[in-house]
Amino acid sequence: GKPMATAPVFLLPLGDSFRSFEEGFRGQKWIDFTRDHAEIPVFAVCAYFALVFYVPGLLKDRSAFQLRQLFAAWNLLLSVFSLMGSVRTVPHLIYYLRRDGFKATVCRDPQEWYLDGPAGLWVGLFIFSKIPELLDTAFLVLQKKRVIFLHWFHHVTVMLYCWHAFHNKVAPGLWFASMNYLVHSVMYTYYFAMAARLSWLATPFAPMITSIQITQMAVGSYVTLTSAMEHLQGGAAACYVDAANYKLGFAMYASYFVLFSFLFYEKYFDRNSRSSQQKSEKICGVDIGSRGAVDTAGRFEDFSRGSASPSTSGNASPLWTASSIAQVVDGKKKTK
């Protein structure tokens, strides 16, 4: 039978015409586009670094923008998009995982099983969505919140890696897209709830979401390592991956795993890392204070009390500044 991912999307009434478009989709044109336009992610990174490191200086003499409602709408849009992507990619991956086994899903030529049809369309949308997702950082900058290393490192590396992986048609690509869609569908829903002043509902889920993210990084590391070992033992005939890509992929996932694991340990197990006055929930480097504020490592601020600058907001000091990791990546010592 056909993969489950060809079933209609039950979330939105997209209609038969969109379903026909999905089933008739062929991914090679989009892959060719990434090959012909390798300059696009480079330009995006240049513009992004200007946003992160130059624009804040231009805004130093003006007050922060009030963007709570717009930010809530943005996160709701991304959560719905991610949920729809999950519906189209996760069942497809599970179908082939059960039918053909794990090795096939990390080594088989993707042209044979996921680059076309509904799954192929949503993998392509996943790749290109990494560029508009950079707008997450624009909300921080416009609200005059400091963007720390973990935030921009994550956005830049994911975007560049995804473009490179799609360009090279790597076999485990569906794993990466499926996991990211699934995690983001939960994460952006959480962010929406926080921006919509529903912190009482959202904050209990912070430890769970951080745990899911750590699991994602562990699985991503294992997938890239497995494909690398198969490729090293049998070459391209044994595993359809690119040597440079699996090296980059493993380095990326492993670094995320270390960073997020340290964050989780620091918050929930290291009693000496925080004072009792600074207790809060954290997720993805985001520190949610007692008033629902979120530190400058993440995407939120204390919308309920107005948008204060990091220098004046008591809840705006990032928890990462208390860690040795932040001291290394920021290149300077910070006091607790």
Q: pLDDT per residue over 204-257, tens digit each?
A: 888 898 899 999 999 999 999 999 999 999 888 889 999 999 999 999 999 999
Residue 14 pLDDT class (50, 70, 90 cuts): low
What would the pLDDT profile of 82-95 be if each residue is shown by its tens digit?
A: 999 999 999 999 99
**Could you please report the per-residue DSSP string of 168-203?**
TT-TTHHHHHHHHHHHHHHHHHHHHHHHTT-HHHHG
Higher pLDDT among residues 248 and 151, named by residue = 248
Residue 255: predicted pLDDT: 96
Instruction: Judge contact between 284 and 267, C-beta under 8 A.
Output: no
Average pLDDT over residues 188-206: 89
Which ranges of 59-203 would DSSP assign to H, the alpha helix? 68-100, 102-107, 117-129, 135-142, 149-167, 173-195, 199-202
Residue 27: predicted pLDDT: 95
Reference 9, options 120, 93, 83; nearest CA is 83
Residue 335: predicted pLDDT: 44
Catalytically annotated residue among 37, 92, 151, 154: 154
Residue 119 pLDDT class (50, 70, 90 cuts): very high
CA distance 78 to 94: 23
* Residue 18, both tokens: 């969109």
CA distance 147 to 52: 7
CA distance 60 to 37: 35
Clarify whether 154 is annotated catalytic. Answer: yes
